[in-house]
Structure 1
Amino acid sequence: MSSTDVRDKAEDSGPSGYAAARLRLLTEGARSGPPRRSALAQLTDDWLTGLFAAGAEATRGVALVAVGGYGRGELSPRSDLDLLLLHEGGDATAVATLADRIWYPVWDLGLALDHSVRTPAEARKTAADDLKVQLGLLDARHIAGDLGLTTGLRTAVLADWRNQAAKRLPELQELSAERGERQGELQYLLEPDLKEARGGLRDATILRAVAASWLADAPREGLADARRRLLDVRDALHLATGRATDRLALQEQDQVAAELGLLDADTLLRQVYEAARVISYASDVTWREVGRVLRSRAVRPRLRAMLGGGKPTAERSPLAEGVVEQDGEVVLARAARPDRDPVLPLRAAAAAAQAGLPLSLHAVRRMATGVRHLPTPWPAEAREQLVTLLGSGRPTVEVWEALEAEGLITHFLPDWERVRCRPQRNAVHVWTVDRHLIETAVRASEFTRRVHRPDLLLVAALLHDIGKGWPGDHSVAGEIIVKDMAARIGFDRDDVAVLATLVRHHLLLVETATRRDLEDPATVRAVADAVGSPGTLELLHALTEADALATGPAAWSAWRGSLVADLVKRVGAVLAGDVPEEPEAAAPTAEQERLALEAVAIGSPVLALRAQTEPPAEERPAGDPEPLGVELLIAVPDQPGVLPAVAGVLAMHRLTVRTAELRALDLPDGVDGSVLLLNWRVAAEYGSLPQATRLRADLVRALDGSLDIAGRLAERDAAYPRRRGVVAPPPRVTVHPAASRLATVIEVRAQDAPGLLFRIGRALEDASVRVRSAHVSTLGANAVDAFYVTGPEGAPLPGEEAVSVARKLEETLRG
């Protein structure tokens, strides 16, 4: 059906005809994107024109005007209708009657309506008082009635906007910045608001308003396509949900991707991120230009007076060869030749980051259009300029984004394309892969004073996740990629080997420290063998911390830092020639022996809570308030079910277990019985820790069977908040036979939930194995727990038996 046919049908049938025509238009598979938005706006125009004509006795002195998104003709399936009934101030009753005859049919169809009735003078006054109203009127479009009235208002509003630009644009910039702080950056969010987040449709509209002021203009290249792409996604979102929403929630992304004919939700997010990046960069450039123009307007009269009326010239201060500073930006010298100097973009970027200044748009585009390819391997200057750029701290981010916006990053590092705008569907990560790599380099720049080869640290930080653009283990893929990239950048064979080791094992320290028994010599030897040298260990330690800090708040803490530091100290000793001895059972402390004797005497568990010493503030990551936790000592007469009972009681009291050690304690001669000693470190999920007396009372009841832990935790689990439509990956249980000679290491990866450790403990108890120690790690919604288990006699499990235990445990957790 053509758009003319649709209009005729709407006019013939009134509101019901419009509704039917609208429905057909929205369900036409062949029409989407700008054509559908335009056709929907035209269809709505024709219907409203009919309502206006039927209700207005005369069309002079009154006009129906579309404003905002409707004024731009950008009607998504569930968009509001923003309408202004404009009148000259005549018969108020007649105007009110006409408004009712237009508004009520719109409401009757269930369409959202943002409406107002004003004279031109009232509209201008409201716009002067309300910036949002003024922005909406900038897109005013005549629908019906007195065209001259609409034209007069548009002309006046535009004149007001341009006359007041010096005052209103800074106000608009401040409001935009506040909104960006609240909503976040669209290009990094897993569930972004397509309109309000920074780099979204609201910012694209603001760029149009800035251009209308004639004060500055946004870089146009790619901007219209980015805006169109976000509008297309919003259209698909409205059709998929049936709601007027701008929030691209996780559970709707697959359906939206299918509506747009995209491969999957990751492809959808990547396109959204690319569009947002274009709009964000255009916003940065535009607001910088607005500031420059406003500053120059303020300074120009004084300069002219000082120069006797002559034309002022902007100062140019040299920063590097072919690179100068001018008016707060880094630009190219007049004699600079990107076509003859392939290192110039890296030199300009390094100079800008070192000076804390932005690269001018003109300079970046000039370099992008004329730059030559670097020879392979790169000359030393190019490598040095890259390292300087990476080591410049926070200013590196803005400079890197400017280079990336014009394709210069992939010009120098083609492998970057696979990680560019790549989403990370892990709640722990707050950035896309490419931004995470830059953030890691920024964090690593803070540690360059503590390593002997800061250049290797910075490059490893930039490339440690480069393998995430390839299938399989990203560390393994990254090792292969970085060998090629590092050689092309110009590092020698030994340095390439170090960089490859850092990328291959960038997760080794934190995973080992939080999931393995550091008292076991096999653990320390395995890390030492993988690292190979003290210098590489030093770099890996710094990279580990930088990577975790750049990941997000949940990835690093004082506790994790202390475990990694302990592991590094032990591995360093091995690399220096010390041979770790097989650990012997430590003699009980006086407190442990006292608790054990008391437990035997009364025949029931006793426990004590003791706060751990927090490291000095200077040794903790910036902004990290997390203490090391509380040590929980429990002595229990040896009996079945101790591990699940303790884990269940702690879960009931909302205590998070960080480490857990269990061992049988030898009692003094003459004391009958045996005691299990549990030395655990715990932390409260919410608020303060429970009293030790309450924990002990519940533990006694759990052990004698009068406390239904499973039932209580099941009630908690039923109330546990879950996202609709989000299915967690199944749990995975694996055996690591070479991880220890003293025990069998069973690793559990599962969705974290209340009582998970209780379920694991009960399953291991049912398998008739003894837990020597447990190492618990939680990242976001994922738990990774390692259990050192033995048979009843205290020896590691035979291979087949270990696999069988792991298989049964996995089946239990899946159930």
Structure 2
Amino acid sequence: MTVTSDPGDRGHLAARARLLADPGPARTGRERRAALARLTDDWLTGLYRAAGAPAGTALVAVGGYGRGALSPRSDLDVLLLHDGPLAAEVAERIWYPVWDSGVALDHAVRTPDGARKVAAADLRAGLGLLDARHLAGDARLTADLRTRVLADWRAAAPDRLPELRALGRARAERHGELSFLLEPDLKEARGGLRDLVALDAVAASWLADAPRDGLDAAATTLADVRDALHLTTGRATDRLTLQDQDQVAERLGLPDADALLRQVYRAARTVAYASDVTWRAVDRVLAARTRRGRPFRMTRRAAPAERRPLAEGVVEQDGEAVLARAARPAADPVLPLRAAAAAAQAGLPVGHATVRRLAAETGPLPVPWPDEARDRLVGLLGAGEACLPVWEALDAEGLIGRLLPDWEQVRCRPQRNAVHRWTVDRHLIETAVRAAALTRRTGRPDLLLVAALLHDLGKGRPGDHSETGELIVRELAVRMGFDKPDTDTLALLVRHHLTLVDTATRRDPDDPATADLIAGIVGNRTHLELLHALTEADATATGPAAWSAWRASLVDQLVARTAARLTGSPPAAGGGPGDDAPGADGPTVEQERLAVEAARTGGPALALRAELAADGTESVGVELTLAVPDRPGLLGTVAGVLALHRLTVRKAGLRELDPVGTGPVLLLGWTVAAEYGDVPEAARLRADLRRALDGSLDVTRRLAERDAAAPRRPGIRTPPPVVAVAPGTASRSATVLEVRAHDAPGLLHRIGRALDTAGVRVRTAHVSTLGAEAVDAFYLTAEDGRPLAPERAQQVARAVQDALGTG
């Protein structure tokens, strides 16, 4: 059959061309898409009438056209619906003029029952029918189909939504993340237009809805860019290629292609975050339905979800970290970081409502930051991969920008270099994730993680980003409360984060001057260890082309030669133990009093008091001073009692005294903090210590029972513990055992038990918890008070390693 175009078709094409060529504000963006849809509606309605369609038929727009918004090169998705016999010629009289016009057409002719069967069998077709919109003919036929399709969708939602989510994940695997690609697919990549359709489909199921703040604006941005891309290329393409970006930016009135990409990235992140929140809500609803073991009923009242404490003011509920009922964000500026760190360390996301409330109610952190805020930031970064969704949630609500004033300058900033996989801001957090796996290589994991997060902040300002970044990090480190030595270390790491790899690949590694150059820059072994780990984290976070076995070997060789040059140089502050590190100062009056009391009574003497910040205004923990007559198993027992009371040891020192000449007394000076709630009273701690020491309280068994009863959380992957015997130069009178591990309840108890079982004496100890990482040094002697023999020292190290497992 031949159907020729008539003047009406040519009139439509002329009107369409005028609409797309009109640069006026009423003919751009959303307005133009709506106007183009109305123009097309009128055209197709005319074709339907001219075709002589009989009663009992309807012309229906579906898919994107059904939503009433057409991009310049969008397909027309149209369904000819009929409930009785229909001659093929009727449909052809409608389709042929569209084909002749050159406009892409996706069409179908179906009965209502046939359309419903296709929707049930084909998810994509079903999604298109959710947006069915009447164009011409029998409106009741369209309305009935739409009603039945929506009812079918809601009834089948528990089965169809997982299928829809799987499609989205498959698209993300094929097309990547729209937020980070230099040549993104605006429709198919994660965070693109397809995900917006999926969110609408979830909303239509009535099981969940997306957070709507910013979502409409993000959808408009992506659609506007797609329109400009269609008009620039003259093709129905969704890939924003490099050669088209400048023209697309100009058409949208943007200064350059980078500004265009930043707009696209911001919109895509809004969509991706809304998708994450929505799918978690769907998972909760479906999980609840599975637990009940009965068909889902929208009106059924669910039982209150169990809430389990994670940290002060933070609980776990329905697989998310949320605020406790007693939490008061307005009075607790550290709460966002505490909630984020607790969530990441537990391998949980932060609830959307929680993040929104934190953003709305929490005030700014004081400057300098409280110690807890810095500690919680390190704990968040140290969670590795589990940090990413938590960080994205905080970033989506603007909380990261409040913490780090320069963050907005690098947020969504593209890196036009094929080596880089990520935008600047995502590269920074990815570097911190990689650094979290390298924390066992340095005694200052906190500085490594913070330097990883900040090392490229200079890319948000003009000039050499390493030099600019050094200035930024000096200001920021002071704001965050780091002291001057640590601030200098962070500034050095940021200034020279490219120095190792540049020197290793461009200078002669065998020339002594090369190692001398690096030694002059770093100054000590601690800085060298930190710079080495930061270099590897930065390169592996950049992309596969930035790091290879060859580059790694060159850097390793340079570091080894530099370390040899630095042998004998004094350790940096916090860089490692020495003979005078723990307990160099004499005991205080209070410590002497407790030691005398313990020696005379034969039992534990204990005191608790708040430990204040340097300015004397802020409590940063509780100082626990304990004196106990020396006896086997003491360290593990005391640590176990603290773990039973859910006290976290932030720092600790241990040493021997003989205050009255009757025998040694162990003096423990520890700073502890409650995981949540209040620190128990001294009398209660003393009573449990007495019971543990006389054997009436089995600490190990009680801890094991509590762990067995605790709910199993997904947890996070952490680097395995490292237990090593320090070089003989670390101490002249003891063997120094260094332990680096991820902090966990009962960690010090397990170490103490292993040392007690090994039959060695702990003369002194230096325990630090930096974020979520434990960096400990134990000064050990044999029963005769001498250092351990080398073979014996290695046996003890293996025993402690076995007690800690693999992390």
Question: Normalization by structure 2: what TM-score?
Answer: 0.68
Q: What per-residue deviation string (whole Å, max 9, x for no partner) do you get for residues 187-220 of structure 1?
A: 0111000000000000011100100000100000
- 2:780 is matched with none
2:454 alignment partner, one of 457, 463, 471: 463
2:30 alignment partner, one of 22, 27, 34: 34
Residues 1:229 and 2:221 aligned together: yes
Query: What is the correspondence of 1:256-275 to structure 2 with a 5 Å cutoff?
Result: 256-275=248-267
**Distance apart, 1:316 and its partner CA:** 0.5
Aligned equivalents of 1:458, 1:493: Cα separation in 2: 18
- 1:491 is matched with 482
CA contact (8 A) 2:99 2:105 kept: yes
- 2:521 is matched with 530
**Distance apart, 1:312 and its partner CA:** 2.6
CA contact (8 A) 2:309 2:316 kept: yes
2:166 alignment partner, one of 166, 174, 189: 174
Q: What per-residue deviation string (whole Å, max 9, x for no partner) do you get for residues 669-699 of structure 1?
A: xxxxxxxxxxxxxxxxxxxxxxxxxxxxxxx
Q: Secondary structure at the match of 1:339?
A: helix
Residues 1:187 and 2:187 aligned together: no
Change (3 A) 1:428 1:337: same
**Distance apart, 1:73 and its partner CA:** 1.4
Aligned equivalents of 1:478, 1:50: Cα separation in 2: 64
State how many pairs are aligned. Answer: 560
Report the residue type matching 2:556 in the other structure: A
CA contact (8 A) 1:200 1:230 kept: yes
Q: Secondary structure at the match of 2:179?
A: helix
Q: Secondary structure at the match of 2:510?
A: coil
Change (3 A) 1:234 1:302: closer
CA contact (8 A) 1:438 1:462 kept: yes
Q: Secondary structure at the match of 1:421?
A: coil
- 2:321 is matched with 330
- 1:739 is matched with none
Aligned equivalents of 1:361, 1:144: Cα separation in 2: 43
**Distance apart, 1:56 and its partner CA:** 1.6
**Distance apart, 1:297 and its partner CA:** 1.4
2:11 alignment partner, one of 11, 17, 35: 17
Change (3 A) 1:98 1:336: same
- 1:113 is matched with 105
Q: Secondary structure at the match of 2:329?
A: coil
Q: Secondary structure at the match of 2:77?
A: strand
**Distance apart, 1:532 and its partner CA:** 2.2
Residues 1:246 and 2:238 aligned together: yes
- 2:637 is matched with none
Moved more, 523-532 or 506-515: 523-532
Query: What is the correspondence of 1:289-328 to structure 2 with a 5 Å cutoff?
Result: 289-300=281-292, 312-328=303-319
Query: What is the correspondence of 1:58-457 to structure 2 with a 5 Å cutoff?
Result: 58=54, 60-90=55-85, 92-93=86-87, 96-300=88-292, 312-457=303-448
Report the residue type matching 2:472 in the other structure: I
Aligned equivalents of 1:376, 1:394: Cα separation in 2: 29
**Distance apart, 1:529 and its partner CA:** 1.9
Gaps of 5+ in 2: 570-807
Change (3 A) 1:405 1:18: same
Change (3 A) 1:552 1:12: same
**Distance apart, 1:130 and its partner CA:** 0.1
Higher relative contact order (CA 8 A, sep 6+): 2
Aligned equivalents of 2:217, 2:328: Cα separation in 1: 31
CA contact (8 A) 1:410 1:416 kept: yes
Aligned equivalents of 2:429, 2:262: Cα separation in 1: 18
Moved more, 194-203 or 99-108: 99-108
Gaps of 5+ in 1: 1-10, 579-815
Q: What per-residue deviation string (whole Å, max 9, x for no partner) do you get for residues 41-66 of structure 1?
A: 000000111111111254x2111111
Report the residue type matching 1:78 in the other structure: R
CA contact (8 A) 1:303 1:312 kept: no
CA contact (8 A) 2:289 2:295 kept: no
**Distance apart, 1:298 and its partner CA:** 1.8
Aligned equivalents of 2:295, 2:219: Cα separation in 1: 40
CA contact (8 A) 1:137 1:154 kept: yes
- 1:763 is matched with none
Aligned equivalents of 1:450, 1:57: Cα separation in 2: 77
**Distance apart, 1:472 and its partner CA:** 1.2
**Distance apart, 1:518 and its partner CA:** 1.2
Report the residue type matching 2:169 in the other structure: A
CA contact (8 A) 1:300 1:312 kept: no
Aligned equivalents of 1:289, 1:219: Cα separation in 2: 11
**Distance apart, 1:521 and its partner CA:** 2.7
Q: What per-residue deviation string (whole Å, max 9, x for no partner) do you get for residues 207-235 of structure 1?
A: 00100000100000100110110000000
CA contact (8 A) 1:331 1:359 kept: yes
Aligned equivalents of 1:310, 1:537: Cα separation in 2: 60
**Distance apart, 1:519 and its partner CA:** 1.8
CA contact (8 A) 1:64 1:144 kept: yes
Change (3 A) 1:478 1:18: same
Query: What is the correspondence of 1:657-696 to structure 2 with a 5 Å cutoff?
Result: none
Question: Normalization by structure 1: what TM-score?
Answer: 0.68
Percent of aligned pairs sharing the same letter:
69
Q: Secondary structure at the match of 2:102?
A: coil
CA contact (8 A) 1:339 1:371 kept: yes
Q: Secondary structure at the match of 2:415?
A: coil
Query: What is the correspondence of 1:652-731 to structure 2 with a 5 Å cutoff?
Result: none
Q: What per-residue deviation string (whole Å, max 9, x for no partner) do you get for residues 638-674 of structure 1?
A: xxxxxxxxxxxxxxxxxxxxxxxxxxxxxxxxxxxxx
Q: Secondary structure at the match of 1:294?
A: helix
Cα-Cα RMSD: 1.6
- 2:45 is matched with 49
Aligned equivalents of 1:226, 1:532: Cα separation in 2: 49
